Structure 1
Amino acid sequence: MIPAAPGAGPGAGALPTGTGHAPCHHGELLQGVFLDGDGRRCAGLVTLPMAGPGSSAEFVRRPGTEPGALTVTPADRTKAARAAALAVAECAERTGQPPCGGELRLTGDIPVGLGMGSSTSDVIATVRAVADSYRLRLTPGAVARLAVRAEQACDPLMLDGRPVLFAQREGRVLEVLGPALPPLAVVGCTLGRGAPVDTLSLPAYEPADSDVRAWERLRTRLRRALATGDVHLLGQVATASARRGQEVLAHPEFDALAVIARRVGAAGVQIAHSGAVAGVLFDPATPGLRHRVRSCLRALDSHGIPATRIFTTFTTTKELLHGRKGLDGLDGPGSLSGLDGAGGLDGPAHRGGDRQAGPRTPRRPARLPAL
């Protein structure tokens, strides 16, 4: 627990109010069952971070009211409501105050049901807002623990963006794989016509020892890819993980997506293992990247796979150009203009407003598939 900065509190006589924010991700680079430091099996994942969309929360605390007197807007954010109650209890105990009720308001622009961590983002933003109303800043470990209690499993959105193998059902880091991902350019799309994945209907799956060994080999290769900045090795790992995920998800377009990636010279593909979002991964240093991305967009369209977003994992031109040339005509941080109406990197794949990546589905509890 770290005290918030002085002066961050509300004005005199005002109800204690706090705010919080959390990002989303673009599915996983790796997901499976791994061994922890004690040799115990743990479901784990490595997410692909994506800047831009996120969830924001405002919590108005009402001291003296009953702890159950919590209201949430929108009213269907049940996991966020549980997170608010848990965070109030935690923060009240830390500050020696009685638990109370309050009002939580959530806003955000994360597409729902595609496996981009929308529910975890809501939960983390909520926990941070509640803590802020108490003038506390909870550690990532404490936020993760509350998030798992609120939704049974969570994504590592409370961390600092370093690539980690994260035990989503336990809210703990199994391994920090490196300081950062190598620069990637990603053409996002949706599979299964963008329909949300009903993870409750997925068949139960108990991995064999050979499966765990295969995932551990992918873990080793990903660690090496990050240590050496090898985008193509990273792409191979992500593709292998995505292909294993098809044993459960069975997206009908996956084979076509993998073929498109090979034909346009991409490093590989990645998917959300609990949703419909997917991405074609490019090394920004690849010659002719602009042409390759255009070809990818045309191929996706010809196969009826909706392109949604083109983005990068780097944020500054300096980071890109430091030994990694390849984006001729870079217009700014992470941008790539002139892609035949595709927008720039870090922007919607089609002009005409901030179109969501998937259908406008109502918020619902998002569960990761059983592994």
Structure 2
Amino acid sequence: MIPAAPRDHAGAGRRGAGRASCHHGEILQGVFLDAAGRRCPGLVTLPMSGPGSRAAFTRRPGTPPERLTVRPPDRTKAARAAALAVEECARRCGEPPCGGELRISGDIPVGLGMGSSTSDVIAVVRAVADSYGMRLPPAAVARLAVRAELACDPLMLDARPVLFAQREGRVLEVLGHRLPPLVVVGCALGGGAPVDTLSLPARAHDDHDVRAFERLRVLLRRAVATGDTALLGRVATASARHGQRLLRHPEFDALVGIARRLGAVGVQIAHSGSVAGLLLDPAAPGLRHRVRGCLRALERDGIPATRTFTTFPGAPGAPGFPDPADLPGFPTTTTTTKESPSGPAHRGGHRPTGPDTPRRPARLPAL
């Protein structure tokens, strides 16, 4: 537990705020071997700054823990996360659990595979912990997130490239300090329609599949260690092809063709949604021309472009790295600075309400 700044006891210590970012789908997802040689589903996500979830929690000491109000009321996973976090934080503080008021807002499109529900859950856990004057370690946040939604993304680890067991909330391998530099031209397959992952048939993986995923794991480890953007693109494309056995996006071959024609290093997709990206090496000649070409090609093929972003916040101005704001399609309102996990929660811009499972197609420009 990391203590936060002291709070007064007149009420300030009873209010907390939390924030969590999203991701842009996966670079790698499959079934891997853990340290004990046991098969374990795992994934490596592509971090993305900008969109996120925000939560504000006010605890009410002396009220029963079941007296918990949530706005919007449909965020059932977030409500479970709040109750679990209250129980955890109260135990650590030696206090009885209590009720409270929770407000959630955010601007992550739902159903595209960007980790919207995990972002909600982590923001809520951070807000509850903040109301107790503490910050929970990432391992504890991951454990609570899995209990709240059965599987979670590694958003509590702040963009470090890790192979993460999403159903167990544990890190299988830390791949390195940061991903190789990438420029990502984002798009949405299937017209941006949400993917109901619960309706997809479960796919059994045999020994051949596991060996293939383990080979990709080795290559991705090497790509991160050496900063090899091209190798990372090969891994992401291979993983995306595996994902197509289940998702079967009709535009996938067109996306791969665009990448090949315009010199992208590869493609990536969300394995539980429709968001996808063309991956480009920022040090390659003619980057701005390539980005413009990707945007035009996506438009010609009827694939909605969403957002152009980078994996190297803070690098603009360094040799070989363009200022991301100069790239075509880069949103002028997006920050590339590191996001704080807590702080004042903004209350505007609620995502569309409905069940925690996909609700309706996202408004693509919101990406």
Same fold (TM over 0.5): yes
1:244 pairs with 225, 242, 245, which one? 242
Percent identity over the alignment is 71
- In structure 2, what residue type is equivalent to 1:247? R
SS at match of 2:86: helix
Per the alignment, residue 343 of structure 2 pairs with none
CA distance in 2, matches of 1:230, 1:345: 28
Per the alignment, residue 208 of structure 1 pairs with 206
Q: How far apart are 1:14 and its partner, in Å?
A: 5.3
CA distance in 1, matches of 2:282, 2:332: 11
Per the alignment, residue 321 of structure 1 pairs with 318
Q: How far apart are 1:343 and its partner, in Å?
A: 4.3
CA distance in 2, matches of 1:103, 1:157: 24
TM-score (norm 1): 0.89
Per the alignment, residue 335 of structure 1 pairs with 325
SS at match of 2:217: helix
Equivalent positions of 1:136-285 (< 5 A) are 136-285=134-283
- In structure 2, what residue type is equivalent to 1:162? R
1:321-353 deviations in Å (ceiling 9; x for gaps): 24xx163xx3xxx3225x3xx3458859xxxxx
Aligned pairs, number: 343
- The answer as to whether partners of 1:312 and 1:345 remain within 8 angstroms in 2 is no
Q: How far apart are 1:13 and its partner, in Å?
A: 4.6
Q: How far apart are 1:365 and its partner, in Å?
A: 2.8
CA distance in 1, matches of 2:91, 2:80: 17
Give the direction of change, closer, same or farther, for the CA distance of 1:209–1:345 in structure 2 (3 Å limit). farther
SS at match of 2:37: coil
Per the alignment, residue 67 of structure 2 pairs with 69
Per the alignment, residue 25 of structure 1 pairs with 23
- The answer as to whether partners of 2:151 and 2:168 remain within 8 angstroms in 1 is yes
Q: How far apart are 1:183 and its partner, in Å?
A: 1.1
Give the direction of change, closer, same or farther, for the CA distance of 1:255–1:5 in structure 2 (3 Å limit). same
Per the alignment, residue 4 of structure 1 pairs with 4
Equivalent positions of 1:121-140 (< 5 A) are 121-140=119-138
- The answer as to whether partners of 2:309 and 2:330 remain within 8 angstroms in 1 is no
CA distance in 2, matches of 1:361, 1:193: 18
Q: How far apart are 1:362 and its partner, in Å?
A: 3.7
Q: How far apart are 1:60 and its partner, in Å?
A: 0.4
- The answer as to whether partners of 1:289 and 1:326 remain within 8 angstroms in 2 is no
SS at match of 2:156: coil
Give the direction of change, closer, same or farther, for the CA distance of 1:223–1:18 in structure 2 (3 Å limit). same
Q: How far apart are 1:5 and its partner, in Å?
A: 1.8
CA distance in 1, matches of 2:131, 2:166: 27
- The answer as to whether partners of 1:286 and 1:326 remain within 8 angstroms in 2 is no
Q: How far apart are 1:160 and its partner, in Å?
A: 2.9
2:285 pairs with 284, 287, 290, which one? 287
TM-score (norm 2): 0.90
Give the direction of change, closer, same or farther, for the CA distance of 1:229–1:366 in structure 2 (3 Å limit). farther
2:79 pairs with 78, 81, 85, which one? 81
CA distance in 1, matches of 2:281, 2:12: 51
Structure 1: runs of 5 or more not aligned = 349-359
Per the alignment, residue 93 of structure 2 pairs with 95
CA distance in 2, matches of 1:210, 1:95: 49
CA distance in 1, matches of 2:214, 2:31: 8
Give the direction of change, closer, same or farther, for the CA distance of 1:252–1:344 in structure 2 (3 Å limit). same
- The answer as to whether partners of 1:46 and 1:166 remain within 8 angstroms in 2 is yes
Matched, 1:105 2:103: yes
SS at match of 2:125: helix
CA distance in 2, matches of 1:85, 1:282: 43
Give the direction of change, closer, same or farther, for the CA distance of 1:94–1:15 in structure 2 (3 Å limit). closer
- The answer as to whether partners of 1:24 and 1:49 remain within 8 angstroms in 2 is yes
Per the alignment, residue 351 of structure 1 pairs with none
CA distance in 1, matches of 2:321, 2:315: 11
Matched, 1:365 2:336: no
- The answer as to whether partners of 2:13 and 2:132 remain within 8 angstroms in 1 is no
- The answer as to whether partners of 1:112 and 1:362 remain within 8 angstroms in 2 is no
The structure showing larger relative contact order (alpha-carbon pairs under 8 Å, at least 6 residues apart) is 2
Q: How far apart are 1:10 and its partner, in Å?
A: 5.5
Structure 2: runs of 5 or more not aligned = 336-350, 359-367
CA distance in 2, matches of 1:344, 1:141: 33
